[in-house]
Amino acid sequence: MANVHVVSCGTSILGAMLKNRASVDSLGGLKGDSVAELARYLQDHGEALASARELALNNPGWSAELTAMRAYLEKKEVDVAYLVQTNTPASRLCTDWLQAYLQTKGVKVKRAKFEGYADPGTELGAARRAAAFAADLQVLRAQALRLVVKHRAQGDNVFIGAQGGYKPEAGVMMLVGAETHTTVYYAHEDMRECVEIPVLIYRGKTDGLLALNGVGGSVTSTRAGDLLAHHPELEDAAAAYAVVIRRDGEGTLLEIDLTAYGKFLLEDAGEDA
């Protein structure tokens, strides 16, 4: 059983280089006022490209994808990574660097691509570019769905990194997670911490939520065990983030907390919350 990550990739590393001009300008005059311009410059200047690659590998925090994946890497929960990129010079370059870094961590890396949003400099009109992007999102969804279903069928643990790319690309990755009940994770640029995004809607009984709310919304130790024994549906509620069930490293139940979503469900059902 392997830990497999299907990751949408963007251009955050190049974006970070533009934000950190002091470092970038010291690399022999890297130029460009946009990610696309910087990528083109690097492709035409081999020495600058080599310096930029070294800078990227030495600053994993510049990668939004690695920031989101960091907790899994630290726990040795990344065996295989499928890096899904747009077919643009900037995306290819950042994904090359991301692949190189992951390989230094012993991760087996595989690549997939889709066309993505056409460069505004292309001859396509705006309407045709938008239509092409919508069609490409379908390709992204089909690719990600195929990979998730394949590895789930093999018994692997599958995770979806919805970090890179435009917002619609992240939305598509979340949709695949919802379709397959697969863990989706993301790290907001300001938050800098990985968050597993809830993709399930809780449709089970609310008896356990009501009982938990009746004792203040939180129980620990033996009381938590008794509550879970009487209301096993709380495990399903936890999968949808209606409650949070905390266990220690050995699996011993520590605490059950009612979340804002759990309270909303009670209110929506007409129960006091």
CA angle in degrees (0–180, nearest 5) for 26-27-29:
85
183 and 219 share one domain: no
Burial of 93 (0-12, 13-18, 19+ CB in 10 A): buried
Residue 48 sits at φ, ψ, to 5 deg, of -65, -35
Q: List pLDDT tens digits, range 62-94.
A: 999 999 999 999 999 999 999 998 888 899 999
Q: Tell me the whole-structure pTM to 2 decimals.
A: 0.80
137 and 46 share one domain: yes
145 and 261 share one domain: no
Task: Look up residue 240 and give its two tokens.
Answer: 């949808």
Determine, yes or no, domain membership for 27: yes
Task: Look up residue 258 and give its two tokens.
Answer: 């009612």
- For residues 258 and 238, the answer to whether their CB atoms sit within 8 Å is no
Determine, yes or no, domain membership for 144: yes
User: In terms of Cα–Cα distance, which of 178, 169, 185 is closest to 199?
Assistant: 178
Determine, yes or no, domain membership for 138: yes
Determine, yes or no, domain membership for 273: no
164 and 244 share one domain: no
CA angle in degrees (0–180, nearest 5) for 65-9-70:
15
Q: How far apart are CA 20 and CA 67, in angstroms?
A: 17
Determine, yes or no, domain membership for 202: no
Q: List pLDDT tens digits, range 148-202.
A: 999 999 999 999 999 877 788 889 999 999 899 899 998 876 666 788 888 778 8
107 and 12 share one domain: yes
151 and 234 share one domain: no
pLDDT score, position 69: 94
Q: What percent of the chain has pLDDT over 90?
A: 54
246 and 184 share one domain: no
| More confident site: 137 or 111 | 111
In sign, the C-alpha dihedral spanning 29, 56, 86, 131 is negative
| Pairing status of strand 253-258 against strand 243-247 | antiparallel
Taking 3-state DSSP, the helix, strand and coil percentages for the chain, each rounded to the nearest 5, stand at: 50, 15, 30
Determine, yes or no, domain membership for 71: yes
Domain limits at 177?
3-197
64 and 189 share one domain: yes
| Number of structural domains in the chain | 2
